[in-house]
Amino acid sequence: MRWSRYYLFTSKEVPKEAEIASHKLMIRAGLIRKHSAGIYSYLPALWRSIQKFSNIVREELDRKGAVELQMPAVQPAELWKESGRWYEYGKELLRIKDRHNRDFCFGPTHEEIVTAITRADIRSYKQLPFNLYQIQVKFRDEIRPRFGLLRAREFIMKDAYSFHSTRESLDETYNDMRDAYSRILERSGFKFSVVEAATGAIGGSVSHEFVVFADHGESLVITCPKCGYAANVEKASFYIEPKKYNKVNFEIVPTPGKSRVKEVADFLGVSTDSIVKTLIYKTPEKLIAVAVAGDREVSEEKLRGVLGTQGELADDKTIEDITNAPVGFAGPVGLSEEIELLVDKSAAAIEYFVCGANKKDAHIVGATWDKVGKFKIVDIAEAKKGDKCVRCKSLLKVYRGIEVGHIFKLGTKYSEAMKCYFLDKDGKSKPVVMGCYGLGIGRSVAAAIEQHHDDKGIVWPVAIAPFECVVMPLNTDNTTVVSEAESIYSQLKEKGIDTIIDDRDERAGFKFKDSDLLGFPLKVIVGAKTIKEGKVEIELRKDGSRLEVKTSDVVSKVGEILSDHKNLSLVSVR
């Protein structure tokens, strides 16, 4: 590619709307153009990176026997009504009407469509399993798009859906996909972690996230450096350390106006972890009381797992009705029998605790669980810094990262709702067992920049760089320099090395700054100084190191360095 004829325009200005590195650099390097909140064009250079990453994805999925297809972006409402998600998905689903006033949506994901396809074809267990995938534009009307491609509304995603006659078969494919994702990320030069995750709006039972480490990531990941346990903070379990408690006599004490945990703790002179905090949640069907230790938060994702449905905090009026007290004075002791009580492990472990008295301006001290009616002990508190591993009791670490992939065991949620059945060996009709596997393409590429950049610009991993190599004739008025550069450029292309020549009539410094910003892994510098001796320089973007080589050796040397780097990025970093 000739830079002078390519569509690649950089800028010195630091964009005002961008806050994090990948977003700023993508704008400065001329890789994206924003049209609306969370809606972008991918300009040619970035599109090359996206294509390279997509092709790695294809190679690794094809290797596992997955089959590519393409499904519609605009989907009829009927299918979403069948699965029930037309009513559940909420405002993130972009709903549109056609000229006949019929309802459609712009697909945020494709379980409905893929199930509509397969239910028409699947008859027998003999056809199973199979795994279908596509790389396609999705739309999710996010509450607040931000960070450029990291949280866009329109984005490119690889989504795969597998279909099975048995759970065991699903397990097999699930593990295959897990391997494929790991290979994809390794080949693309990511440092990442595979973590247990909550299933969210997609549904299903088991799921894992692929989280690329980044200081500005939106996901919090808990890992155990000793035994390798890793989970999203929304899902992570932790070890509750047994403590010795001194006996405290049961007593109802006045706590006027002290409704928050911190206030009660200060007022009574106790620590927050000896308080039991009681929250009232509501689901579409019922009210639930939830108790956690005062120094902990409820993980709504964990709660969703226990309830099997999304719960939300009840409004003030409901709380007053059920607890006979204003908000802030609920407690498990003496709570109405009408409401189910879930007690987190963290709260259940406290022998003598402080809690709301279900009475205005009063708390109980010295409460014990034998004074509480029926309750169930569950794991619904969020892990936090300083917690210990549920498996090996080592100190857990908390990392920030970007969730680039998420794989789920869906089970029969969609196949039952949408009647995708097959006839099994025993002659009985059964719902197909499904898995689904998402990987954010644009997000991954943005995450790569987030993970690989310095103060000069992007430092692309070789595998997904827009170009592997840039040839830079520094003195465009020197005919030897120009002709040597052109010759090297043709030879590199000949050898299949992805090369751009910076043939623009610009000064040397300008070209250096631009290619540093763009982050091409290798520069071949052709200048008047060295060409006199029949030499050029090769510079590595990674560390700025240079070596002089004879013009006759450049091509083989470049090939050598690039293959070294490709191999390097294959080394597992977990």
Tokens coding 201: 């709006």
Which listed residue (102, 260, 376, 574) binds RNA by CB under 7 A?
260
Rounded to whole angstroms, the Cα distance separating 46 from 465 reads 9
Chain center to CA of 182? 14
Rounded to whole angstroms, the Cα distance separating 356 from 324 reads 11
- Smallest distance, RNA to C-beta of residue 291, A: 10
Which listed residue (194, 279, 357, 562) binds RNA by CB under 7 A?
279
Q: What CA–CA distances, in Å, run from 164 to 116, 343, 431? A: 16, 37, 9
Query: Apex CA 71: angle with CA 66 and CA 74, to 5°?
Result: 155
Counting contacts by CB under 7 A, is residue 527 touching RNA? yes
Contact indicator for 109, 202 with CB cutoff of 8 Å: yes
Counting contacts by CB under 7 A, is residue 256 touching RNA? no
Question: Which residues from 448-487 bind RNA, rule CB under 7 A?
Answer: 456, 474-475, 477
Counting contacts by CB under 7 A, is residue 259 touching RNA? yes
Q: What CA–CA distances, in Å, run from 443 to 49, 405, 432, 437, 516? A: 12, 9, 31, 15, 22
Helix (H, G, I), strand (E, B) or coil at 126: helix
- Smallest distance, RNA to C-beta of residue 260, A: 4
Which segments within 448-545 are labelled E, that is strand? 453-454, 457-458, 469-473, 499-501, 522-526, 535-540
Rounded to whole angstroms, the Cα distance separating 489 from 16 reads 37
- Smallest distance, RNA to C-beta of residue 533, A: 10
Which segments within 334-394 are labelled E, that is strand? 340-344, 353-356, 362-367, 376-378
Rounded to whole angstroms, the Cα distance separating 40 from 75 reads 22
Counting contacts by CB under 7 A, is residue 512 touching RNA? yes
Stretch that binds RNA, among 120-128, 240-248, 461-469, 502-510 (CB under 7 A): 502-510
Rounded to whole angstroms, the Cα distance separating 301 from 204 reads 13
Measured from the CB atom, the residue of 135 and 558 that comes closer to RNA is 558
Which listed residue (5, 36, 87, 120) binds RNA by CB under 7 A?
36
- Smallest distance, RNA to C-beta of residue 110, A: 26
- Smallest distance, RNA to C-beta of residue 467, A: 16
- Smallest distance, RNA to C-beta of residue 526, A: 7
Stretch that binds RNA, among 114-122, 408-416, 493-501, 505-513 (CB under 7 A): 505-513
Counting contacts by CB under 7 A, is residue 499 touching RNA? no
Q: What CA–CA distances, in Å, run from 463 to 48, 143, 565? A: 11, 33, 9
Which listed residue (335, 432, 497, 517) binds RNA by CB under 7 A?
517
Counting contacts by CB under 7 A, is residue 81 touching RNA? no
Count of CB atoms situated within 10 Å of the CB of 496 = 9
Counting contacts by CB under 7 A, is residue 358 touching RNA? no
Which listed residue (158, 187, 277, 413) binds RNA by CB under 7 A?
277
Binding track, positions 314-353, relative to RNA; x by CB under 7 A: x----x-------xx-x-----------------------
Q: Which spans of this chain sit near RNA (rule: CB under 7 A)?
A: 10-13, 15-17, 19, 28, 34, 36-38, 143-147, 259-261, 264, 277-280, 294, 297-298, 300, 312-314, 319, 327-328, 330, 456, 474-475, 477, 507-510, 512-514, 516-517, 525, 527-531, 537, 539, 544
